[in-house]
Structure 1
Amino acid sequence: MNTFEHVINRKDSRSVKWGNMETVYGIDDASEVLPMWIADMDFATPQPIINAMKERLEHGVFGYSYICATCKDAVRTWLSSRHGWETKNEWMLFHHGVVPAIATVVETFTKQGDNVLITTPVYPPFFNVPGHQDRNIVECELKEENGQYSIDFNAFEKCLQQDIKVFILCHPHNPGGVVWTEAELRKILQLCKQYDVLVLSDEIHADLVLPGHKHIPLAMLAEEEGGKVITCIAPTKTFNLAGVQAAVMITDDEKLREALQKSAMAHGQMDLNAFAASALKSAFTECDEWLDQLLEVISSNIDYVISELTAAVPGINIHKPQATYLLWIDYRETGLSEEVMMDKLLNKGKLALEPGTKYGEAGRGFLRMNIATPRSVVEDGVKRFITAMS
């Protein structure tokens, strides 16, 4: 059976998505609830990656590991071939995930009480991580029109004038699914350079740009525009490896790298574990064809959900994302509050989606839905949504 059609039972596998809903949603029994919330896929990791991890497992010795040159070569070649970004091995620092990398960057380049800028609605760790480090979060709300987001650069510049130390860019954007244009990216760089703001560009969804759209690495434009940029990438979202934990921080600025390396030493941070290194290398050298097939499946699933839900449920509007496997569902025209909507979905439809306010107050009136799952499961989710709203 096609790997994208095969339904894998993920219960009892310590899956956050499938096994932790009682805690996340405050319900007594989630055994009948279908999870379409947290952003990992229900598809198996590509076979070449599994083979690489098996080979490492069968070696039998799991001592201290380091990132070899061939791992860095794999990252460099991937970025060149998929995105046209020419990097160097010495620009790379490795971490256990993009969220830990965000924490490291914020801790390294700001101090308690400093201002960190984000554009909302946005991925919750963008405000949770700096907030837990006692940094002040400055929110610049994105402009939204019919579910399509853009940056209000007048508001953005006013925010930058508030002594911002770091701007965290979600690129492509989660949850809105926006692939930022070259003009928008250049404007970001120009303004952040003008106000001496470090840009942390989270590009974990870069490889999940849907057919017809193109991701432009921010740092590639910074080579012309100038400014300070640290890019975070990972194979984990693209190849369903979140539990393996591997990410890369990339910057051509030697002083920034030295500061990050000092922070790693201060925390006793080691390189990636033996399995993560094997998975990363395989992902970036053996899985192009799998990814191309995945993107077609995601695009098809998105089209199906948009067609079915908007036709069956009055007041539901969905703008097709340009990237990610996440739908940002606009239910404002239903007139329902978030509390009522979530109650209907969980208790009547037995469907777990994410409430929009998880992404900031700017997300009120929206839901996030993960469609990276076999079509039969997507169809089940759509039926549950319709049942909830009937």
Structure 2
Amino acid sequence: MKYNFDEVQARRGTHSIKWDTADADEILPMWIADMDFRTFPPIVDALTRTTAQGHYGYNIVPSEYYEAIMLWWQKRHGYKIKKDSILPSTGVVAGISAIFSVLTKPGDEVIIQTPAYNHFYNVIKGAGCTPVENELFYEDGVYKVDFDDLETKARSGKAKILLLCNPHNPVGRAWNEHELQSIASICTRHDVYVVSDEIHSDLLAPGKQHVSFLSVTAAQHQAIVCSAASKTFNLSGLHAAYLFVDNEAIRKEIEVQLWAQGAAAPSLLACEALKVAYTKGDEWLNELNNYLHGNYQFLKEFISTNMNNIKVLTLEATYLVWLDCKQTGMKSKELADHLIKNENLWVNPGDMYGAAGEGFLRINIACPRQTLIDGLNRLKNIL
């Protein structure tokens, strides 16, 4: 490998949410979706050059920001993005909030597929809307969409948006073209707008291909994709995201809301980081995905050998492994609390992603192998 993902970084004392919000230094955080790898080195070089200029006034979002996004999606995902459909944003959640300001009114329903990313609940309730759960089928260790239930929820007349997670966090599915086309057909039939969070689209297991929701639906005027470089290159602290909105009228309204919320202008450093990541970062990402897959394979083997009461679900995308702990007989929060109290291991309880997540844990494996082994040994000591 050209890049050293085994290097352990000292991140305490860096104002890291992941590392500096723990109650004790002995706690090993494997919870939030934040990687413990140094980012792509040319990004560091570009940021160093930019900060050395000594001028940090208001910045424009340069044309290179848009061009880098278009290039990346074409070469990584085979999808051609029109420049005028791109709206810069400081974050995906901020973008979703702006979208809701335009497409919903208080009291409307928003469909989510549970277990669902916990911040989906926050942004839905923040808009005064009601989350309606289209619970995923869980059978033989695999999650699938319950299309009959989705049809029922979509035709109620109350649902205005399906908030899709593609790939899915926390269950790790990379939805295929058939699944997405079925979703598109249902939502188009019942005039439900689809907002697709595709922030994990680059983080794929070997042999998996990301299928953007926009690439499978002819009703692009009723779909919006939200994404960012932040998960891929560990740039969350820089706030560089974007939306794809083909419908011109709606795009203009969302842009107004982004400006009203102070979320329309990624910073000078954010623009530089995204530009370098998307124009030069292919090889680094390929090596990262290979390393993450190695971590996943190690975790699977370790748990199979040492913890027969835990089932590891297939990880098609993301670096967040979903563990079925139902055979332990413990509730998710009880188990997570037990791990942090007795082994100083911080993972996410499944019930924070809705009732459908009860009995599960989510663990972040985007860390050096040495760190992963430490975390797994702590897990083994309890289970």
Q: 1:300 aligns with which of 280, 283, 294?
A: 294
SS at structure 2 position matched to 1:328: strand
Q: Residue in 2 aligned with 1:194?
A: 189
Structure 2: gaps of 5 or more residues: none
Q: 1:168 aligns with which of 146, 163, 166?
A: 163
Compute the displacement of 1:338 (Å).
2.5
Q: Residue in 2 aligned with 1:50?
A: 44
Q: 1:373 aligns with which of 361, 367, 377?
A: 367
Q: In 2, Cα distance between the equivalents of 1:266 and 1:101?
A: 12
SS at structure 2 position matched to 1:120: coil
SS at structure 1 position matched to 2:232: coil
Q: 2:138 aligns with which of 136, 139, 144?
A: 144
Q: 1:107 aligns with which of 85, 101, 109?
A: 101
1:352 aligns with 2:346: yes
| 1:269-348 equivalences in 2 (<5 Å) | 269-348=263-342
Structure 1: gaps of 5 or more residues: 23-29
1:37 aligns with 2:38: no
SS at structure 2 position matched to 1:216: coil
Q: Deviations over 1:86-130 (max 9, x none)?
A: 111111001111111111111221111111110100111111111
> Which AA in structure 2 matches 1:131?
K
1:67 aligns with 2:68: no
Q: In 2, Cα distance between the equivalents of 1:96 and 1:33?
A: 30
Compute the displacement of 1:133 (Å).
2.4
Q: Deviations over 1:220-240 (max 9, x none)?
A: 122x35551110110000000
Q: Deviations over 1:309-337 (max 9, x none)?
A: 12211210002210000100001012122
Compute the displacement of 1:254 (Å).
0.8
Q: 1:218 aligns with which of 187, 209, 213?
A: 213
Compute the displacement of 1:278 (Å).
0.3
Q: Residue in 2 aligned with 1:15?
A: 16
Compute the displacement of 1:269 (Å).
4.4
Q: Residue in 1 aligned with 2:378?
A: 384
SS at structure 1 position matched to 2:96: helix
SS at structure 1 position matched to 2:116: coil
Compute the displacement of 1:260 (Å).
0.7
- Aligned-residue sequence identity (percent) comes to 38
Q: 1:369 to 1:362 in 2, by over 3 A?
A: same
Q: In 1, Cα distance between the equivalents of 2:171 and 2:260?
A: 36
8 Å Cα contact 2:102-2:250 kept in structure 1: no
Q: 2:243 aligns with which of 219, 237, 249?
A: 249
Aligned length: 381
8 Å Cα contact 1:117-1:159 kept in structure 2: yes
Q: In 2, Cα distance between the equivalents of 1:227 and 1:143?
A: 29
SS at structure 2 position matched to 1:230: strand
1:4 aligns with 2:38: no
Compute the displacement of 1:257 (Å).
0.6
Superposed CA RMSD in Å reads: 1.4
Q: In 1, Cα distance between the equivalents of 2:26 and 2:91?
A: 31
Q: Residue in 1 aligned with 2:229?
A: 235
Compute the displacement of 1:288 (Å).
0.5
Q: 1:226 to 1:268 in 2, by over 3 A?
A: closer
Q: TM-score, normalised by structure 1?
A: 0.95
Compute the displacement of 1:55 (Å).
1.3
Q: In 2, Cα distance between the equivalents of 1:236 and 1:226?
A: 25
> Which AA in structure 2 matches 1:325?
Y
1:208 aligns with 2:209: no
Moved more, 98-107 or 368-377: 98-107
Compute the displacement of 1:64 (Å).
1.2
Q: 1:48 to 1:383 in 2, by over 3 A?
A: same
Q: 1:349 to 1:267 in 2, by over 3 A?
A: closer
Q: In 2, Cα distance between the equivalents of 1:360 and 1:329?
A: 15
Q: Deviations over 1:144-174 (max 9, x none)?
A: 1133111010000101122211110000000
Compute the displacement of 1:266 (Å).
3.2
Q: Deviations over 1:177-214 (max 9, x none)?
A: 10111111011111111111111000000000111111
Q: Residue in 2 aligned with 1:134?
A: 128
8 Å Cα contact 2:292-2:366 kept in structure 1: yes
Q: In 2, Cα distance between the equivalents of 1:115 and 1:270?
A: 26
8 Å Cα contact 1:349-1:386 kept in structure 2: no
Q: In 2, Cα distance between the equivalents of 1:98 and 1:181?
A: 22
Q: 1:321 to 1:340 in 2, by over 3 A?
A: same
Compute the displacement of 1:2 (Å).
4.9
Q: In 2, Cα distance between the equivalents of 1:361 and 1:185?
A: 24
1:78 aligns with 2:72: yes
Q: TM-score, normalised by structure 2?
A: 0.97
8 Å Cα contact 1:348-1:387 kept in structure 2: no
